[in-house]
Chains A and B, each alone.
Chain A
Amino acid sequence: MPDSPVLVLAGAEEAPLLELDAYRAAGGYLQLERARAMPPPEVTQELIDSNLRGRGGAFFPTGRKASFIPSPDKVAKPIYVTVNADESEPGTFKDREIMLRVPHRLIEGCLIAAHAVQSKQVYIYVRGEYLAEYETVQAALDEAREAGILADVEIVIHRGAGAYICGEETGLLESLEGNRGQPRSKPPFPAIAGLYASPTLINNVETITTMPKVLELGPKEFAEIGVPPDSTGTRIFCLSGNVRRPGPYELPHGITARHLIEDVGGGVPDERSLKAVMMGGSSFPVMTPDDLDTPLDANSLGQKGYFIGSGVVTVIDDRTCIVQFALRVAQFYMHESCGKCTPCRVGTRWLVQLLRAVEAGTAAERDLDLLLDVCDRIIGKCLCVLGDSAAMPVASCVTKFRGEFREHLEHGGCPFGGDSQLDGLFAPSDQHVRGREALA
């Protein structure tokens, strides 16, 4: 691996880069000046040439997305930029790091994006639970406004109130419009009819914050980092779980999961062995140990049925019952399903019921097939990807660890006998059930 450049978190390796003066001393806002001196389509072209792709999970080419926004003379409506800072994917904590450590770079990215699509209004939708993050970005924003950096662009921070589904782009727009955050059917896509039915560019925090660095390095040099042509640049990998040194690590695309876990993260502690990796986020198939040498770039992962997602690498060691893991993941999606479409609303409940029965040892072999069948009836059949996100990890656990699922049936219960790390883990959905019982 060549020397690993730090781009997004540059200047904040030791301490957060919070003050405007300090950010400027580190070259901050110079790329905004450069961008504003360029015709907007040229800025978009640089993003296209860099092949920067969305860091929120979908990995869509950022420049292409910006190019879908019509120019202001073609539409009689305002054009909006919306930043998705509703980071809630289990295992993900990178956008939080950005907001706490380089808030001005996020603002610079917002203003570059606004210039690229000729927008005068930016909304940053910050997850409701992120209080310190909101305060940090708001303070930086006030400072930038005071210094005249915003010029004729207005940036408003809009705080969420606890709903995973608002990280889905159209759910976010609904929420920002003051509605329940239920996703819309697409098309029309946000680039054509997004916020208030106007053309809207939506980007994840990490994606937006990478933009100043794309301009600073130039698209050509940026595109040489990582695994060109498709997985360019760096990622803030979110390493957590049963690993000695968990943390956010900004590294180029293409490092292997093994390198990240063993060399960077110090390996699995307590002389345990690695059983599985929650790869990309809880919404994706789990990785088994035989695939640890897969480079973490979209194509290498894709060839083996994995996703890079939001850069999550959560290590699960052999003390964990995989049925309990699948159950806890399914409970999360059941809790967060917005209820708008049937396969997700009903399917996530089925998954939880079936997994509970497996864990209790009351299920039969045919229930394992039924689990896969329910997953199959969810995947690709919902309005948004939340359904897929519930079904993919569960299906992968059943398929890859079928022997362990079967042991539960043969054993008449969990073979870990209460010693699994996730044993009895309480889920917020249990809390709601209790609330309803109390009312009855």
Chain B
Amino acid sequence: MTGLYDEIQEVRRRYPPGTRSAVMPALRLAQERRGWLSREALEEVADALELTPAYCYSVASFYDMFHLEPVGRHTVEVCTNVCCGLVNAQAVLDAFERELGIEPGETTADGEVTLRAVECLGGCSTPTIVAIDHRYRQSVTPDDVPAIVEGLRDAG
């Protein structure tokens, strides 16, 4: 199994030498491997790209999908923009809050699931869109929520 350092060097070759374009894919790789972008993870990325950890932090902090705090092993992301909102996204979010016992932005006490409200996911014709570990579930209603959460718990 190759290490993060080698994977980042591989990604770097997609871009012209001397550019910083590999920062985002490198941060993504680090997050996939380490779970979130801790100080140590940012230092690993910085080392592999010959940049400073501060620079990597400044980039990571700009984007919603980079986590600068620990997150659960699973993520539940509910679209609450207007198109889903018009077709009851709030009730779906409420159902996840009840089922998981947490509020949006929080992680369950066992560290398993993070619940987030997110902006438009681009699935407006099949509301409400919920991304479970980044895979879209379409036309989710509050009634679907218990089974989805159970599925996540079973997946471990």
Q: Which residues from B are CB-within-8-Å of A430? A: 104, 117
Closest to A165 in B: B62
Q: Are the C-beta atoms of B116 and A431 separated by less than 8 Å?
A: yes
Picked from A87, A179, A196, A421, the residue with its CB within 8 Å of the CB of B122 is A87
Q: Are the C-beta atoms of A175 and B24 separated by less than 8 Å?
A: yes
- Shortest B45–chain A CB gap in Å is 11
Contacts A156-B14, A162-B65 known; A426 to B80 CB distance under 8 Å? yes
A109-117, A237-245, A376-384 - the one binding chain B: A237-245
Contacts A129-B122, A434-B103 known; A177 to B86 CB distance under 8 Å? no
Contacts A131-B134, A161-B27, A196-B19 known; A181 to B62 CB distance under 8 Å? yes
Closest to A181 in B: B62
- Shortest A419–chain B CB gap in Å is 13
* Size class of the contact patch on chain A: 35 or more
A105 beta carbon closer than 8 Å to chain B: no
**Chain B count of residues within 8 A CB distance of the other chain:** 49
Kindly state the separation between the CA atoms of A177 and B16 in the bound complex, as whole angstroms.
10
Contacts A131-B134, A161-B64, A175-B24 known; A329 to B122 CB distance under 8 Å? no
Q: Which residues from B are CB-within-8-Å of A423? A: 90
B124 beta carbon closer than 8 Å to chain A: yes
Cβ proximity bits A126-163 to B, threshold 8 Å, 1 near / 0 not: 01111110000000000000000000000010111111
Contacts A90-B83, A424-B90, A435-B105 known; A177 to B20 CB distance under 8 Å? yes
Kindly state the separation between the CA atoms of A163 and B59 in the bound complex, as whole angstroms.
11
Kindly state the separation between the CA atoms of A35 and B83 in the bound complex, as whole angstroms.
40
Q: Which residues from B are CB-within-8-Å of A238? A: 124-125
- Shortest A328–chain B CB gap in Å is 5
Picked from A96, A158, A164, A282, the residue with its CB within 8 Å of the CB of B24 is A158
Chain B residues numbered 118-156 whose CB sits less than 8 Å from any CB in chain A: 118-127, 131, 134-136
Picked from B63, B80, B83, the residue with its CB within 8 Å of the CB of A161 is B63
Contacts A90-B81, A93-B122, A162-B64 known; A320 to B25 CB distance under 8 Å? no
Kindly state the separation between the CA atoms of A182 and B82 in the bound complex, as whole angstroms.
25
Contacts A91-B124, A164-B119 known; A425 to B80 CB distance under 8 Å? yes
Q: Which residues from B are CB-within-8-Å of A428? A: 64, 80, 104, 116-119
Q: Are the C-beta atoms of B83 and A314 separated by less than 8 Å?
A: yes
Q: Which residues from A are CB-within-8-Å of B66? A: 161-162
A176 beta carbon closer than 8 Å to chain B: yes
A278 beta carbon closer than 8 Å to chain B: yes
Given contacts A91-B83, A161-B66, 6 further A-B contacts (CB under 8 A): A160-B63, A162-B65, A240-B124, A314-B124, A335-B119, A425-B85
Binding site for A on B (CB under 8 A): 14-16, 19-25, 27-28, 58-59, 62-66, 80-83, 85-90, 93, 103-105, 116-127, 131, 134-136
Q: Which 7 A-B pairs have the closest CB atoms?
A: A178-B20, A162-B64, A161-B63, A162-B65, A240-B124, A178-B23, A431-B105
Binding site for B on A (CB under 8 A): 78, 87-93, 95-96, 127-132, 156, 158-164, 175-182, 196, 238-242, 246-248, 278, 282, 314-317, 320, 325, 328-329, 332, 335-336, 338, 421-428, 430-432, 434-435
